[in-house]
A and B are shown apart, each in its own frame.
Chain A
Amino acid sequence: MSNVPTDLRYARSHEWVREQADGTVEVGISDHAQHALGDLVFVEVPVVGRALQAGEACAVVESVKAASDVYSPAAGTVIAVNEALAKAPELINQDPYGAGWIMRLKLSGPLAAAELLGAETYAAVAEAG
């Protein structure tokens, strides 16, 4: 059973979103996703300043068996990326909701407008595979 923190919102494509005090959001991939991928060996993060549509492929997480796209859970502009992942992609395996964050976005609209799931619904989606 994977860990699904209740204070976050989730995309069906397995990204999580954390609202920050300043209105920006932090994005990563869920514990379920990192577990399904296995040991990550490489993470390709987006360029700071890039404008993203909701659902746009913006990062790549690569394990020894697959390279998978990460999709932006909401529309916005990339204001920061987790540079530590370049040297330590395993941070996503070890701490997917903390040190393994991928990027921060300045949203172009209210978060409520994004089609995101609560923890309980996402847990059911992830469980169903």
Chain B
Amino acid sequence: MLAAIGAPDLEALFEEIPAELRVRSLAGVPEGLNEQQVMELMYARARQDGRPLNFIGAGAYEHHIPAAVWAIVARGEFYSAYTPYQAEASQGTLQTIYEYQSMITALTGLQVANASLYDGATAVAEACLMAVRANRKSSAARVLIPRTVHPNYRAVAQAATGGQGLKLEELAYLRASGQTAADALAAYEGQDVTALVIQQPNFFGVLEEVDALTDWAHARGALVIAVVNPVSLAVLKPPGSWGQRGADIVVGDGQPLGCPLSSGGPYFGFMATRMDYVRQMPGRIVGRTVDLDGRPGFTLTLQAREQHIRRGKATSNICTNQGLLMIAGTIYCAMMGAAGLERVAQACMARTAELVGALSRLPGVRSAFGTARFHEAVLLLDRPVAPLLEALAAHGIEGGFDLGHHYPELGQALLVCATEARSAADVAAYAQRLSELLKEARVA
């Protein structure tokens, strides 16, 4: 192959990459595996997942997925990870994306959505970069990001935007409520702030005072980036209606819509914005149009700032999205309908309320925040979290997410979640097992 393209050796092929950008050693990268070896490895990994009774949320949520969703997604007409390259030849795919965009605008209450992004974390990073482009009154490139935003989203946003000169500054939260502190905002009075990120519900499952936060930002010339769980939008106020003017950019992870947990991915990201900022929005957009004979059809639109045209100055250089997962989300939403999605959201809230009630009745367990929540909650324990989670796992229960690593100041804190996929009996089983473990430890 090297001879065919006229390169004397592999080194010559990579010559144009500047030396300082090249990795000299591939130490730590294992040798290749053949297909059989890969299958064996993957089966072994999949077996490790098992089928535990899962009470972990923390950004990825176990929901019931109607069997028809993946039966439809797996059809050959849909089965590709990419938005099509010969786009207009694939009218069915374009129409599906158009329907998806329409659903996202309906859920978020904004005017225009793109054809999806890579995942929730990179969508937050893209939103920060977009806000800096869109807010032309601000020159600080400063984005305020509360500590109540998912820690992984913050880390990815920092990694993806730091090199482009963005300043991501964290805001403290109130220990009593788990909400972003107004005092933390007061420190920025009179300063140039480009955008404020607000996650609703936040990483603790707590509902933020989104109206007041949005109005604070807008009154100071900052844009508002909303990070939301799409299922929660069936019962919560859409970001387009936050405060006086609504959020400017809305992003999130689409996984709760029809995507299985599958050991952590792939999932998909979504993004919507106001029409005013459509030209600063990264990703592809499908538009509805008419052909020469006046018949309706679908087409990629507003491509002039995409990387195949604008190269290094494109609105984004993340080259891929998760087209197949986005299609799963679209089919899931179509099957559930607005009423179905609302029932899912309400069932999640009710089940989580039951879970928090049952667990916090146990001696040594209490709820951290009394604030209104969606389907997650923080529990404070009277002993270290990790050994308890290990003991629960030994009984087939994944008891929650240990907050100790990301939020050591909370002490022995556990983030729990119950979706509609958990039954009342599941909740009772968890409470029973935890009660026994706490007693055993006390006797010992």
Q: Which positions in A face B, CB cutoff 8 Å?
A: 41-42, 44, 47, 62-67, 69
Question: Is B137 close to A, CB under 8 A?
Answer: yes
Instruction: Answer whether A62 and B313 are a contact pair too, CB < 8 Å, given A47-B136, A47-B137.
Output: no
The answer to whether A65 touches B304 (Cβ under 8 A) is yes
Task: Name the prevailing secondary structure of the A interface residues.
Answer: strand
Which chain A residues border B136 with CB–CB below 8 Å? Answer: 47
Q: How far is the CB of A6 from chain B (nearest CB, A)?
A: 33
Question: Is B237 close to A, CB under 8 A?
Answer: no
Q: Knowing that A65-B309, A66-B309 touch, tell me 15 more A-B residue pairs with CB under 8 angstroms.
A: A41-B304, A42-B279, A44-B279, A47-B136, A62-B279, A62-B304, A62-B305, A64-B304, A65-B304, A66-B304, A66-B310, A67-B305, A67-B309, A67-B310, A69-B313
| Smallest Cβ-Cβ distance to A46: which chain B residue | B136
Which chain B residues border A41 with CB–CB below 8 Å? Answer: 304
Bound-state Cα–Cα, A74 to B313, Å: 22
| Smallest Cβ-Cβ distance to A45: which chain B residue | B136
Instruction: Answer whether A63 and B304 are a contact pair too, CB < 8 Å, given A42-B279, A47-B137.
Output: yes
Q: How far is the CB of B80 from chain A (nearest CB, A)?
A: 26
Q: Which of B258-312 contact A (CB under 8 A)?
A: 279, 304-305, 309-310
Q: How far is the CB of B49 from chain A (nearest CB, A)?
A: 45
Q: Which positions in B face A, CB cutoff 8 Å?
A: 136-137, 279, 304-305, 309-310, 313
Which chain B residues border A44 with CB–CB below 8 Å? Answer: 279
| Smallest Cβ-Cβ distance to B313: which chain A residue | A69
Which chain B residues border A66 with CB–CB below 8 Å? Answer: 304, 309-310
Q: How far is the CB of B281 from chain A (nearest CB, A)?
A: 13
Bound-state Cα–Cα, A64 to B309, Å: 11
20 pairs from A and B in contact (CB 8 Å cutoff): A41-B304, A42-B279, A44-B279, A47-B136, A47-B137, A62-B279, A62-B304, A62-B305, A63-B304, A64-B304, A65-B304, A65-B309, A66-B304, A66-B309, A66-B310, A67-B304, A67-B305, A67-B309, A67-B310, A69-B313
Bound-state Cα–Cα, A64 to B303, Å: 8
| Smallest Cβ-Cβ distance to A69: which chain B residue | B313
Q: How far is the CB of B306 from chain A (nearest CB, A)?
A: 9
Which chain A residues border B304 with CB–CB below 8 Å? Answer: 41, 62-67
Bound-state Cα–Cα, A117 to B95, Å: 50
Which chain A residues border B279 with CB–CB below 8 Å? Answer: 42, 44, 62
Q: How far is the CB of B286 from chain A (nearest CB, A)?
A: 16
Which chain B residues border A64 with CB–CB below 8 Å? Answer: 304
Which chain B residues border A47 with CB–CB below 8 Å? Answer: 136-137
Q: How far is the CB of A36 from chain B (nearest CB, A)?
A: 14
Of the candidates B137, B279, B304, B313, the one having the most CB atoms from chain A within 10 angstroms of its own CB is B304
Name the 10 nearest CB pairs between A and B, nearest first: A67-B304, A67-B305, A62-B304, A47-B136, A67-B310, A66-B309, A66-B304, A42-B279, A65-B304, A63-B304
Bound-state Cα–Cα, A41 to B136, Å: 20
| Smallest Cβ-Cβ distance to B309: which chain A residue | A66
Which chain A residues border B137 with CB–CB below 8 Å? Answer: 47
Bound-state Cα–Cα, A64 to B305, Å: 10
Q: How far is the CB of A42 from chain B (nearest CB, A)?
A: 6
Which chain B residues border A65 with CB–CB below 8 Å? Answer: 304, 309
Bound-state Cα–Cα, A63 to B137, Å: 25
Bound-state Cα–Cα, A118 to B25, Å: 54
Q: How far is the CB of B308 from chain A (nearest CB, A)?
A: 11
Q: How far is the CB of A93 from chain B (nearest CB, A)?
A: 16
Bound-state Cα–Cα, A41 to B305, Å: 13
Q: How far is the CB of A41 from chain B (nearest CB, A)?
A: 8
Bound-state Cα–Cα, A67 to B309, Å: 8
Bound-state Cα–Cα, A47 to B137, Å: 8
Bound-state Cα–Cα, A42 to B278, Å: 12
Which chain B residues border A67 with CB–CB below 8 Å? Answer: 304-305, 309-310
Bound-state Cα–Cα, A42 to B301, Å: 13
Which chain B residues border A62 with CB–CB below 8 Å? Answer: 279, 304-305
Q: How far is the CB of A51 from chain B (nearest CB, A)?
A: 10
Of the candidates A41, A62, A67, A69, the one having the most CB atoms from chain B within 10 angstroms of its own CB is A67
Bound-state Cα–Cα, A113 to B33, Å: 64
Q: How far is the CB of B3 from chain A (nearest CB, A)?
A: 36
Which chain A residues border B309 with CB–CB below 8 Å? Answer: 65-67
Which chain B residues border A69 with CB–CB below 8 Å? Answer: 313
| Smallest Cβ-Cβ distance to A57: which chain B residue | B313
Q: How far is the CB of A116 from chain B (nearest CB, A)?
A: 24
Q: How far is the CB of B425 from chain A (nearest CB, A)?
A: 58
Q: How far is the CB of B223 from chain A (nearest CB, A)?
A: 15
Q: How far is the CB of A43 from chain B (nearest CB, A)?
A: 11
Bound-state Cα–Cα, A67 to B137, Å: 22
Which chain B residues border A63 with CB–CB below 8 Å? Answer: 304
| Smallest Cβ-Cβ distance to A63: which chain B residue | B304
Bound-state Cα–Cα, A66 to B302, Å: 10
Bound-state Cα–Cα, A63 to B305, Å: 10
Bound-state Cα–Cα, A44 to B279, Å: 10
Q: How far is the CB of B140 from chain A (nearest CB, A)?
A: 14
Bound-state Cα–Cα, A47 to B221, Å: 14
Q: How far is the CB of B59 from chain A (nearest CB, A)?
A: 35
Bound-state Cα–Cα, A66 to B307, Å: 11
Bound-state Cα–Cα, A104 to B171, Å: 40
Bound-state Cα–Cα, A66 to B309, Å: 6
